[in-house]
Structure 1
Amino acid sequence: MSPTRSLPTVVVLAAGGGARFEGAGPKLGQSLGPASVLAHTLDAVVSAGLPLVVVTVAALVEVARGVVASRDIVLLPPVGSASREPLGVGFSIASGVSARPHAPGWLILPGDMPLVQPQTLRAVARALGQAPVAYAQYRGRQGFPVGLSAELYSELVQLSGEEGLRRLLVRYPSAAVETDDAGVLQDINTQADLAQVRASSTVLAWQQSVVARQPNEA
């Protein structure tokens, strides 16, 4: 058995419209140094060594393909497609979980959280062995990722529209994973949020590591 088969799959939600974000192009495609917001988020998951699936829309497919394989991308239908239920966070979660039905669990991670660290993802993944639900927590405040065990599959695939995880968090025992990773609370909804993330020392360190990995030019 492949080692990754025993690990929960990270479902990266990258289909939101970002209604509060005022800027040219989708917020997940905005630059953070040499890469995009979404690329940073995906890079953290890859660095954590966890399997993943990216739930996204046509405008961001090429951004996702710059980091992950096409087989790990779930493309959602355009908004307003005939015979499709309304898109939303619930629909995206259901689509991602349905794409990996045999995973031992899933970690839900919004694509606009590029500061979440690989060690945080691994810690929440381990906590799923203690409770049906696990989530990252910073100084007592609940954040992402949120982990969900395989026993919740039937409920997860029925989520739709804007129905998120709150109901499941209330109904099932959960394990809070306290971390010193403030990135579990930092999403990007506005230009001010983006500016704050761009100024983060975490992003600067990531950029330096990318440069270090690039071959020297003759």
Structure 2
Amino acid sequence: MQTESDPRHRAATELPNTGAPVAIVILAAGKASRMGEGARHKLLAEFGGVPLVRRSALTALGSDAASVIVVTGHRRREMEAALGGLPLTVVDNPDYADGMASSLIAGFSSMCAARADGILVMLADMPGITIAHLNALISAFGRAGGEAVVRAVSRGKPGNPVILPRSLHELVLRLEGDVGARTIIATAGVPVLDVDIGDAAHFDVDTPDDLMAAGRAVQS
């Protein structure tokens, strides 16, 4: 595991010669306030003995992505410990309390992201996302020549993850507040390709009940 502050930092893996290499940025910086006061952070909750943040990172690392970046913030030392030993880059976002935009900017500003034609934005609290889902999105991006937005949907309803092409990166770097890239996707005039991955596109973990449901789903 590398960090952006390490002067020896370089991409964890070489970019494949596909013409449209994709880096995955995993957002894992939030406070998880909906879990309740004093509750264990949802990304440190274990599924089969593996913390959720590590599970998400392992899924990303198993995909066809060129590199994996995890953006941390709240309780970052614990997140880094949970990610220990994995061939990825961790980027700390000290401004995580400002909202999602700051984490997107931190991830998109990393050196690994700068080498990619597309950035796949993955939320760390979506345990239903599989390697096959990520590869389906990455494959669609490659077939589009790296010039389209590719987003996961379920029954026609947009969800996550989403791949943003290089042409939109500068717009992401201008975001402010607790917003994602949805407005950029809607207004930038870039083609959008939808890939149906089923219920996993909308299933995230926000509350203790969600954690219980996710645990049952993982074990089934």
The question of 1:88 aligning with 2:95 is answered no
Structure 2 Cα separation of the partners of residues 21 and 4 of structure 1: 42
Query: Structure 1 residues 163, 28: closer, same or farther in 2, change over 3 A?
Result: same
Structure 1 Cα separation of the partners of residues 28 and 115 of structure 2: 22
Matching residue of 1:189: 206
Output the TM-score relative to the length of structure 2: 0.80
Per the TM alignment, residue 40 of structure 1 is displaced from its structure 2 partner at its CA by: 1.4
The question of 1:24 aligning with 2:33 is answered no
Output the TM-score relative to the length of structure 1: 0.81
Per the TM alignment, residue 198 of structure 1 is displaced from its structure 2 partner at its CA by: 0.1
Summarize deviations over 1:127-156 as a string: whole Å, max 9, x none.
Answer: 224352110112222211111001111111
Give the AA of the match of 1:204. Answer: Q
Structure 1 Cα separation of the partners of residues 141 and 93 of structure 2: 28
Matching residue of 2:195: 177
Give the AA of the match of 2:90. Answer: I
Structure 2 Cα separation of the partners of residues 98 and 4 of structure 1: 22
Give the AA of the match of 1:174. Answer: V
Aligned pairs for 1:126-141 within 5 A = 126-129=139-142, 130=144, 131-141=147-157
Structure 2 Cα separation of the partners of residues 155 and 15 of structure 1: 21
Query: Structure 1 residues 195, 137: closer, same or farther in 2, change over 3 A?
Result: same
Matching residue of 1:211: none
Query: Structure 1 residues 160, 178: closer, same or farther in 2, change over 3 A?
Result: same
Give the AA of the match of 2:203. Answer: Q
Match among 108, 117, 123 for residue 121 of structure 2? 108
Matching residue of 1:41: 56
Does structure 1 conserve the Cα–Cα contact (< 8 Å) formed by 2:93 and 2:102? no
Does structure 2 conserve the Cα–Cα contact (< 8 Å) formed by 1:101 and 1:153? no
Does structure 1 conserve the Cα–Cα contact (< 8 Å) formed by 2:92 and 2:106? no
Structure 2 Cα separation of the partners of residues 136 and 155 of structure 1: 21
**Residue range with higher mean Cα deviation, 188-197 or 120-129:** 120-129
**Residue range with higher mean Cα deviation, 44-53 or 184-193:** 44-53
Structure 2 Cα separation of the partners of residues 78 and 133 of structure 1: 27
Structure 1, unpaired ranges of 5+ = 80-85, 206-218
Query: Structure 1 residues 204, 7: closer, same or farther in 2, change over 3 A?
Result: farther
Per the TM alignment, residue 66 of structure 1 is displaced from its structure 2 partner at its CA by: 4.7
Structure 2 Cα separation of the partners of residues 162 and 66 of structure 1: 31
State percent identity of aligned pairs: 27
Corresponding residue SS for 2:125: coil
Match among 180, 196, 199 for residue 216 of structure 2? 199
Corresponding residue SS for 1:91: helix
Corresponding residue SS for 2:122: strand
Per the TM alignment, residue 2 of structure 1 is displaced from its structure 2 partner at its CA by: 4.0
Per the TM alignment, residue 4 of structure 1 is displaced from its structure 2 partner at its CA by: 7.0
Per the TM alignment, residue 73 of structure 1 is displaced from its structure 2 partner at its CA by: 0.4
Give the AA of the match of 1:89. Answer: M
